[in-house]
Amino acid sequence: MKKTLKDFNFKGKKTLVRVDFNVPLEEGKITDDTRIRAALPTIEYLTRQGARVILMSHLGRPKGQVVDSLRLDPVAERLANLLNQEVSKVDKCVGKGVKETVAKLRDGEVLVLENTRFYPEEKANDPEFSKRLAELADVFVSDAFGAAHRAHASTVGVTAYLPSVAGFLMQRELDALGQVMENPEKPFVAILGGAKVSDKIGVIRNLLNKVDYLLVGGGIANTLLAASGYEMGESLVEEDKLELAKELIQEAQESGTELVLPTDLVIADQFSNQANYRVVPVDQVPEDWQSLDSGGPETLQRYTGIIKQAKTVIWNGPIGVFEMDIFAKGTNTIAAVLAESNATTIIGGGDSAAAVKKAGLAGKMTHISTGGGASLMFMEGKPLPGVIALDDLA
């Protein structure tokens, strides 16, 4: 167990908070503020406790350079609106000017530092940079589950110099994911989609020892079907992972977990919303067509039947190209069945979270993770560097 906000007195304390404000931007405007809203309970608690709140986050991939379009000014502005209070912002993370601004903070005030990834030292987890960040504060709060799988200066490095506790969002993620991975109510069903088997080898292997059913779709299913001997035409298949896919199928048979693959597919003659498309059995994919939705009617009937019997469901990765409406049926159907389910439903961040939100069903899930990569690592059974580094509860 890690220390949390309730284990520290924040009154008058300069409190450095790592949040995940890596929000999508278009022409300088925030198009989805979900990640900002997710951090509000922690920020509001700290301001009520009289903390002097210093927020830090990355945004995009500036690769250690200052990129004006990736400054956190729009984030600070949106946060001020959501908190209904003034939020100040500085254009750096460290240095004399930042220290002077922090020194002027009063109890309950909020300051946003500049994008941490403007500094190459951030991703390098540079000790000197970590120390300079830590010198701004009396205590560190980690509330960026979406970055907890990264051993960076702002997620791990600073913990060497400050008392370090988990924020409410971090705590909620660990509780929700920990419960289903360690003590799930059975039947336990996992749904895995996405493009590549190689991204989820560890997850598949870990889940084979835990779940009753593993339903597979998307590019992962294509590779597993190809490994089973089916001709997949122009479908996305990881040719160099076919032997590995055969091993995973064998391991599933030996584990007692039922690995469920599609039996029919929505195929198209091109990767486009304007494509010609049709449903075919998995053994009838023409050589110049490709599978873009694993959710054919027969497959969906089987998958939904299994999901309806489940007591716990964890889902990571869409089962088709849900961004294109004509290939979204499989993914949307699964989202709808989960929304109506009485099971504990955990959505593992990333594209599956985006798909659920696009379908307007986010509010009907038990928990939607804010971290795609972090939730994947958690599902692999691997420790998260940004969690390990926090102080243990005595």
Would you please indicate which residues are annotated as catalytic (active-site) residues? 35, 196, 350, 373
Paired with 164 in beta bridges are: 140
Q: Is 188 helix (H, G, I), strand (E, B) or coil?
A: strand
Is the backbone of residue 98 left (phi > 0), alpha (psi -120 to 50) or beta? alpha
Q: Let me know: does 16 contact 140? Beta carbons within 8 Å.
A: yes
Q: Which of 372, 2, 346, 16 is nearest to 184 (CA)?
A: 346
Q: How far is CA 74 from CA 36, 81, 109, 393, in A?
A: 11, 11, 18, 36
The answer to whether the beta carbons of residues 144 and 23 sit under 8 Å apart is: no
Q: Is 179 helix (H, G, I), strand (E, B) or coil?
A: helix
Choose among 241, 210, 205, 207: nearest CA to 226: 241
Coil, helix or strand for 89?
strand
- Sequence-distant contacts of 274-281: CB under 8 A, at least 24 apart: 275/326, 277/326, 277/327
Q: What is d(CA 31, CA 223) in angstroms, rounded to the nearest whole number?
A: 34
